[in-house]
């Protein structure tokens, strides 16, 4: 059902009491103008539309129907958002869930947790990601939320939706002194590695000083985005209250680990990554190497969910390297297996039924 | 530790599995300009300052320190907010908690759940409480949130802070056809019953049609406020997902029951009120009669917490009929006893220590 990569034998300690914990799924969203650089992101039908993707992802996830614009996010090829996976797994567990707005271009038209310093991220090739001071402010916002939502008997699953996120994640890791060029994944089967590196080079030139950047918050303000620093704060607050946390996402989550490690946090036995086999087996990125370099005490659990027998082309594309991860899809499925013991076949059945439903409503093509 | 008033023998069914449930405390805030009518509310040092009380209450509750203005809410006599009780009980349980903004005059300077239709309530003697359509919109916002936050194994505790709330609660109940004049409580020992009735009369004249108002949402838009309808929606969504709910508050919560009953919901075994003995024993109001008339299937659990031996005058005032309830104080203490089995003496000790702390910071007078 799922497999685990576990460098430091910490999985058992992490997983042993998970079944007795109360699970709360928390999906973080933000926009970064970095996603509007042509070629950087296919998480939307056009570069400009990627700004709306986080909002539409979570409206669809929670309400079953987008509200702000009547569109469920698709790639230019028409492949639907991984929120379809998340929504299906979540509906089977009937678990509690929440959305946190760290700086979406449009605030979703439903109840969400608003961070007081939520702000749309700048386009990092030409401008800073965040206003001065906002690196720490967003971290503290996330930390306050993590402390409030956590409890000693809870498991928090943190997912994300922010197009352009692998690019800013790479830039954060590089700025903090970790090798990340060519190691972050992409929603496209042709990872625009060269373009991402160009964006980083421009950001480095703009910055004009040496890296690694000593001050973590400064690094995020120059090279990052509003999302990853908020999630890092959330994890910090949550584990302080003895909660366990699954970071539900791909290589982006390695930037969260990088922030936490540079801040000196101990993650052992408290934090795991939950993702998909599409991420782990991706040859154009290297989540395993990133975790090994940054935080080998963090195990990676990945679901074996596969769409090779999917009756819909829009899902079969996933097997050809499209999408791979997002909106906490992998970690939500892993958790549904880990905590509820849901068979993968059941999850898949519900995903196919959900695809059928949204195809019937005209949001995606049936074949 | 606590006692229960249980007209229809529903307490046992409500309480039997509570210890196995995961508790999440949710504090709803809003402002109603009704609180600025001189004499209506002492939940603030002056009528105008009552508009800030919900924001400062929850900032202090969650962060231990107010942020928006450097003031912890007090009555004109200097008696501190019941949030001091809530904060103490909550800190002992270390439980998960959240704040929902239904229309605070100022949004708190921390992460809160923002309802998309959050709006400050109008002064109901001279204007409608809500813009047209907002009765149902806020109900749906609350319902969406209730569905998302609830799970089949959770217990949700819903508290509130909104000065002027007993007046609008009375008006809602009357508009829906329940006798409520002279039956709602007050934070003052001299309940301004006559003044509250005047406000209702003016609202009735302004409305100019017959009551009871058939349409629940219309009743709330004319006579109510943004808070109670949002909580009612929240309860509706939560019990639909098989969660149990404790309404943590005094006579105000009877207006939530009135809304839910008029909408035809079955509350038996799923909803209880949690409050204080100060409310239940108050001679100027009648929570027991209100619940009996409106929803006798809802048991009332009230904590026996008493401040007669308090070393601080600011708390001894509570025994003289001041404050009584608010910010979910009673229900939070009841839950800490019911779920964690906390002895009342321990809760009291922590409250006294907390009073000492905020007195040391200059927020309240020591004697």
* Cross-strand bridge partners of residue A320: none
d(C-alpha A34, C-alpha A31), whole Å: 9
Q: What is the pLDDT of residues B216-232, one digit of tens each?
A: 999 999 999 999 999 99
B110–A141: do the CB atoms touch at under 8 Å?
Answer: yes
Q: Given pLDDT bands bounded at 50, 70 and 90, which one contains residue A367?
A: confident
Q: What is the pLDDT of residues B8-63, one digit of tens each?
A: 999 999 999 998 999 999 999 999 999 999 999 999 999 999 999 999 999 999 99
Size of interface A-B (CB pairs under 8 A): 84
Tokens of B13: 């069914």
Taking CB atoms and an 8 Å cutoff, what residues of chain B touch A109?
A: 116
User: Against a cut of 0.80, is the pTM above it?
Assistant: yes
Q: Does B22 touch chain A (CB under 8 A)?
A: yes
Residue A156 lies in a domain: yes
Q: What is the pLDDT of residue A19?
A: 87
Q: What is the pLDDT of residue B16?
A: 94
The total number of residues shown for chain A amounts to 367
Q: What is the pLDDT of residue B366?
A: 85
- Chain B, nearest residue to A22 by Cα: B22
A144–B22: do the CB atoms touch at under 8 Å?
Answer: no
Chain A window 229-258: which residues touch B at a Cβ cutoff of 8 Å? Answer: 241
B111–A100: do the CB atoms touch at under 8 Å?
Answer: yes
Residue B279 lies in a domain: yes
Q: What is the pLDDT of residues A245-265, one digit of tens each?
A: 999 999 999 999 999 999 999
Which residues, 6+ apart, have CB-to-CB distance to A340 below 8 Å?
A92, A93
Question: B151 pLDDT exceeds 80?
Answer: yes
Q: What is the pLDDT of residues A142-163, one digit of tens each?
A: 999 999 999 999 999 999 999 9
Among B192, B191, B170, which Cα is nearest to B179's?
Answer: B170
Taking CB atoms and an 8 Å cutoff, what residues of chain B touch A110?
A: 116, 141, 144
Residue A312 lies in a domain: yes
On average, the pLDDT of chain A sits at: 97
Q: Does B126 touch chain A (CB under 8 A)?
A: no
B96–A62: do the CB atoms touch at under 8 Å?
Answer: no
B94–A152: do the CB atoms touch at under 8 Å?
Answer: yes
Q: What is the pLDDT of residue A284?
A: 96
Domain containing A221 equals 2-355
Q: Does A20 touch chain B (CB under 8 A)?
A: no
State how many domains chain B has. Answer: 1
What is the DSSP track for A250-295?
Answer: STHHHHHHHHHHHTT---TTTEEEEEEHHHHT-TT--HHHHHHHH-
Q: Given pLDDT bands bounded at 50, 70 and 90, which one contains residue B84?
A: very high
Nearest CA-CA distance, residue A154 and chain B, Å: 9
A96–B63: do the CB atoms touch at under 8 Å?
Answer: no
Q: What is the mean pLDDT of residues A223-231?
A: 98
* ipTM (interface predicted TM): 0.96
Residue B362 lies in a domain: no
B112–A109: do the CB atoms touch at under 8 Å?
Answer: no
Q: What is the pLDDT of residues A286-309, one digit of tens each?
A: 999 999 999 999 999 999 999 999
Sign (positive or negative) of CA dihedral B168, B173, B177, B181 = negative
Q: What is the pLDDT of residue A366?
A: 85
Question: A141 pLDDT exceeds 90?
Answer: yes
Q: What is the pLDDT of residue B121?
A: 98
Closest Cβ–Cβ partner in B97, B141, B148 for A97? B148
Q: Does A102 touch chain B (CB under 8 A)?
A: no
Q: Does A112 touch chain B (CB under 8 A)?
A: yes
Tokens of A16: 């042993």
Closest Cβ–Cβ partner in B110, B116, B154 for A144? B110
Q: What is the pLDDT of residues A164-204, one digit of tens each?
A: 999 999 999 999 999 999 999 999 999 999 999 999 999 99
Among A281, A348, A310, which Cα is nearest to A85's?
Answer: A348
Residue B364 lies in a domain: no
Q: Does B96 touch chain A (CB under 8 A)?
A: yes
Q: What is the pLDDT of residue A34?
A: 98
Question: A111 pLDDT exceeds 90?
Answer: yes
Report the SS3 class of residue A182: coil
Nearest CA-CA distance, residue A140 and chain B, Å: 9
Question: A320 pLDDT exceeds 80?
Answer: yes
Closest Cβ–Cβ partner in A94, A115, A144 for B151? A94
Taking CB atoms and an 8 Å cutoff, what residues of chain A touch B107?
A: 114, 116
On average, the pLDDT of chain B sits at: 97
Q: What is the pLDDT of residue B367?
A: 74
Q: Does B100 touch chain A (CB under 8 A)?
A: yes
Q: What is the pLDDT of residue A190?
A: 94
Q: For chain A, first and last CA: distance in Å?
A: 27
A311-337 burial: b if 16+ Cβ within 10 Å, else e: ebebbbbbeebbbbbbbbbbbbbbbbb
Q: Does A19 touch chain B (CB under 8 A)?
A: no
Q: Does A145 touch chain B (CB under 8 A)?
A: yes
Residue B363 lies in a domain: no
Residue B13 lies in a domain: yes
Residue B365 lies in a domain: no
Q: Given pLDDT bands bounded at 50, 70 and 90, which one contains residue A1?
A: confident
Q: What is the pLDDT of residues B261-320, one digit of tens each?
A: 999 999 999 999 999 999 999 999 999 999 999 999 999 999 999 999 999 999 999 999
Sign (positive or negative) of CA dihedral A277, A280, A284, A287 = positive
Q: What is the mean pLDDT of residues A87-94?
A: 97
B113–A109: do the CB atoms touch at under 8 Å?
Answer: no
d(C-alpha A311, C-alpha A331), whole Å: 24
Closest Cβ–Cβ partner in B114, B151, B152 for A112? B114
A110–B141: do the CB atoms touch at under 8 Å?
Answer: yes
A151–B62: do the CB atoms touch at under 8 Å?
Answer: no
What's the CATH number where B97 sits?
Answer: 3.40.50.10210
């Amino acid at each position: 059902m799922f497999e685990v990569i576990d460098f430091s034998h910490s999985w058992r300690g992490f997983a042993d009491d998970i079944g007795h914990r109360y699970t709360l799924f928390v999906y973080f969203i933000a926009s970064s103008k970095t996603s509007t650089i042509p070629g950087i992101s296919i998480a939307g039908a056009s570069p400009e539309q990627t700004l709306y993707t986080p909002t539409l992802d979570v409206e669809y996830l929670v309400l079953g129907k987008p509200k702000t614009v009547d569109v469920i996010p698709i790639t230019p090829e028409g492949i639907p958002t991984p929120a379809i996976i998340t929504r299906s797994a979540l509906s089977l567990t009937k678990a509690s869930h929440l959305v946190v707005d760290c700086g979406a271009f449009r605030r979703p038209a439903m109840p969400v947790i608003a961070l007081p310093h939520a702000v749309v991220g700048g386009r990092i090739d030409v401008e800073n990601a965040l206003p001065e001071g906002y690196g720490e402010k967003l971290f503290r916002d996330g930390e306050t939320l993590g402390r409030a939502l956590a409890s000693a008997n809870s498991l928090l699953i943190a997912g994300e939706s922010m197009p352009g996120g692998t690019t800013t994640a790479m830039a954060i890791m590089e700025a903090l002194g970790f090798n990340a060029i060519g190691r972050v994944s992409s929603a496209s089967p042709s990872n625009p590695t060269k373009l991402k590196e160009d964006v980083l080079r421009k950001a480095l030139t703009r910055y004009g000083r040496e890296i690694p950047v000593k001050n973590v918050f400064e690094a995020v303000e120059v090279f990052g985005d509003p999302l990853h620093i908020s999630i890092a704060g959330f994890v910090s607050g949550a584990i302080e209250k003895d909660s366990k946390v699954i970071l539900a996402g791909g290589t982006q989550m390695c930037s969260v680990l990088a922030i936490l490690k540079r801040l000196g946090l101990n993650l052992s036995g408290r934090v795991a990554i939950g993702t998909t086999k599409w991420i782990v087996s991706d040859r154009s990125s290297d989540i395993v190497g990133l975790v090994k370099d940054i935080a080998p005490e963090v195990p990676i659990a990945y679901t074996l969910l596969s769409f090779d027998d999917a009756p819909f082309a829009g899902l079969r594309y996933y097997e050809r390297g499209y999408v791979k991860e997002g909106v906490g899809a992998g970690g939500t499925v892993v958790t549904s297996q880990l905590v509820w013991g849901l068979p993968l076949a059941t999850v898949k059945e519900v995903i196919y039924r959900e695809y059928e439903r949204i195809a019937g409503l005209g949001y995606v093509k049936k074949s």
